[in-house]
Structure 1
Amino acid sequence: MLRRTLLAFIIGAALPGGAFARCEGYKPQPKPQNTFAQDVGRSFDRIVEEGWIEFAVYDDYAPWSYEEKGKAAGVDIEIGRLIAKTLGVEAKFRLVASGENLEADLLNYVWKGAAVGGRVSDVMLHVPYDSALVCRVEQVVFTGQYAAENIAIAYRTTDYEEKGPTPPFFRFDPVAVENDSIADFYLTSLIGPVDKIHRFRSTAAAVDGLAKGDTKAAMGPRAELEAGLIRHPKDGLAVHSPPLVGFARGNWTIGVGINFQHRDLAYAVDEAIENALAEGEIARIFQRYGLTYTPPQR
């Protein structure tokens, strides 16, 4: 699941002395040998010539990307369409499942393809960005940062009338999290495996549990929590982003991943996103979905 992918990303970034120390002691990975650029993915010229570009996006990941009435929908889908429009081509979307970690997803969908029947897409959206990934995964160009995301807390305002809860509250107050997610890992590490942590199959289900009164709060990525609030407009729910003690990586930047052989495509995609940011188009997408927009640091 994507949550495991992000969890592995966050843990790797947060652990002291971990692999995210900028290239320290890094041994370069083997590069594909005896292949031409067109053998792995499509060149920018070919994309323009054929008139379409394919984006790999995670499936069942509202509000970012999901299927609705047989078509791809979500924030990432709208951003993909912006990119395609700027490049003058049609946008196509490939809904993909997440693997055990980010490196596996990048291998399967960006630079090599799965071992059995695999193929790469032109661009992968919603790639968590960290500068050290440039060292760890040389076969991918990490670019096009278009938003920032953070861990937040949703709560019922009648239970916390003065201000929203912080993690120490959950030693005593029940909180909903997605099972094996970043929030689950953080709370369990912070306060121990207490029975106040209620685990659900997804962040969306965790917010549904909060709305039904199963818990007093829910913790997870802010956009997913806010999407849940939209489904429960009459339940008096709110979201806030308090300081997270001991969490070295409670926020991250979202960008794109492109095969390293197609840097001209990467430059074009990054320029398209840069222009969309400057013109406020990406912020307006978030507004249409009822989400808080935090611009990335580029």
Structure 2
Amino acid sequence: MTKCKLLILLLSSCLAFAGQVHARYYDDVISSGYIAIGLYKNFPPYSFEQNGQPAGVDVEIGKRIAAKLGVEFRPHWITPDENLDDDLRNNVWKGHYLDKDEEQPLAMKKLADVMMRVPYDREFAFRRESTGEMAHEQVVMFGPYQRESWRITFDGRKLDEVSTVAVFQYHPIGVEIDSLPAFYLTAAFGGRMRDNARHFMNVAEAFEAMQNGKVDAVMGMRAEIDWQLFKANDPNYRIGENGFPMMGKQKWDLGMAIKSTYRQLGYTVEEVVDQMIRSGEMAKVYGQYGLTYELPGLYQEVQ
């Protein structure tokens, strides 16, 4: 073989190797002694850092998964991309082209072994592209562990009750910018609540605005609202008992995701989470953060 051909062969081999992602089958996880749990960064009360340490309900679940497998828990922090499809691609099955691990030869791309807080929704999981191909063929979404919903908290010194969102035609309410509640409050009922919808970077900022008297209520995901109420520990802040007409889906289940080739790992993780739910341990995890825990639909159906 000539030196030229040998060089071409070596370069081709290196390029093929550099394009690989870090394969993490069940046996790989066990032999490595750790499991990488995909967690959204700065997303309390689900996953965040507190005093320099990972915290939140998804972190606690991840730690229990690791303990049952007899391996070390390692957080794989996820910065949200433009949409969930991007998050799954970048963190579960392909890897981000900018995300390089210096400890791996030829800069292999890092992936989570298991990604938390993924919608457990059949329509989303089996969605097809315009070409007819499966949008999420490389991903398995499994293990529902929580049902989420929307919630309003309000200042009882400003409002007697919130039995209908129509009250926000007359009272300012804080929402996270570009969120579904933000679109809802600016469009529902012919836009009659639009002028009273105040937009903030996140639910925490909206809640702080309520504490400072700038808004009379806050709308967000139930767990985020519960977390703010838990930290504030102020009886003046109460929970609305209203529904959300014309909002569409108001409750949804959340589960996990793995690469489609890692099913054995998925079966093991799913068994751990299932035991947590059935034993009541999952509800206790949520309770320690002051959150309301609701069983996902799969478990409600068999009760």
| TM-score computed with the length of structure 2 as normaliser | 0.82
State the one-letter code of the partner of 1:187: L
Contact 2:147/2:294, CA 8 A, preserved across alignment:
yes
Contact 2:148 2:253 in 1 (8 A): yes
Aligned to 1:148: 147
1:187 to 185, 188, 198: 185
Task: Say whether the 8 Å CA contact 2:206–2:218 is kept in structure 1.
Answer: yes
Query: Does the alignment pair 1:69 with 2:51?
Result: yes
- Counterpart in the other structure of 1:7: none
For 1:63 and 1:243, the matched residues in 2 are separated by 23
- Given the superposition, is the C-alpha separation of residues 206 and 223 from structure 1 closer, same or farther in structure 2, using an over 3 Å criterion? same
| 1:81 equivalent in alignment to 2:63 | yes
Verify the 8 A CA contact 1:156 1:235 in the aligned structure 2: no
Aligned residue for 2:206? 206
Cα contact 1:153–1:165 (8 A) shared by 2: no
Identical amino acids, percent of aligned pairs? 34
Code of the aligned partner of 2:199: R
- Which range moved further: 113-122 or 75-84? 113-122
State the match for 1:296 in structure 2: 296
Moved over 4 A (4+): none
1:286 maps to which residue? 286
In the alignment, the residues of structure 2 paired with residue 250 and residue 104 of structure 1 have an alpha-carbon distance, to the nearest angstrom, of 24
Classify the secondary structure of the residue corresponding to 1:195. helix
Residue 121 of structure 2 aligns with which residue?
130
CA distance in 2, matches of 1:132, 1:169: 34
Alignment: residue pair count: 262
Instruction: Quote the Cα distance in structure 1 between the aligned partners of 2:81 and 2:248.
Output: 24
Query: Where does 1:3-14 land on structure 2 (aligned, <5 Å)?
Result: none
Query: Amino acid of the residue matched to residue 127 of structure 1?
Result: V
- Specify every segment of 5 or more residues in structure 2 that has no aligned partner in the other structure, as ranges: 1-15, 100-108, 128-135, 299-303
Query: Distance in 2 between the 1:245 and 1:182 partners?
Result: 13
Name the CA distance, whole Å, in 1 between partners of 2:178 and 2:235. 27
> Secondary structure of 2:252's partner?
strand
Q: 1:58 aligns with which of 7, 31, 40?
A: 40
Q: Tell me the amino acid that sits aligned with residue 146 of structure 2.
A: A
1:50 CA displacement: 1.4
Question: Secondary structure of 2:36's match?
Answer: strand
- Counterpart amino acid of 1:130? D
What SS does the corresponding residue of 1:218 show, helix, strand or coil? Answer: strand
Q: Which amino acid aligns with 2:162?
A: G
In the other structure, the counterpart of 2:176 is 178
**SS at structure 2 position matched to 1:255:** strand
Output the CA distance in 2 between the equivalents of 1:228 and 1:134. 31
The answer on whether the counterparts of 1:210 and 1:218 sit within 8 Å (CA) in structure 2 is yes
Q: Is contact 1:41-1:121 (8 Å) kept? A: no
Provide the residue aligned with 1:41 in structure 2: 23
Specify the code of the residue in structure 2 equivalent to 1:167.
V
1:112 Cα deviation from its structure 2 partner: 0.5
Deviations 1:52-85 (A, max 9, x none): 1001101111111111122111111001111111
**Aligned amino acid, residue 173 of structure 2:** V
**Letter of the 1:138 counterpart:** E
8 Å CA contact retained: 1:155, 1:216: yes
Is contact 1:57–1:76 with CA below 8 Å preserved after alignment? yes
- TM-aligned CA deviation for residue 40 of structure 1: 5.1
Match of 2:89 in 1: 107
What's the TM-score, normalizing by structure 1? 0.83
Q: Determine helix, strand or coil for the equivalent of 1:132.
A: helix
Q: CA deviation at 1:165?
A: 4.3
Spell out, residue by residue over 1:155-180, the C-alpha distance to the aligned partner (whole angstroms, 9 max, x if none): 1123332x324222112211000111
Q: Structure 1's 52 and 268: CA in aligned 2 closer, same or farther, altered over 3 A?
A: same
Q: Paired residue for 1:166, among 164, 167, 178? A: 164
User: CA separation in 1, counterparts of 2:265 and 2:209?
Assistant: 43
SS where residue 243 of structure 1 aligns?
coil
Q: CA deviation at 1:231?
A: 2.7
Q: Is the 8 A contact 2:176 2:206 kept in 1?
A: yes
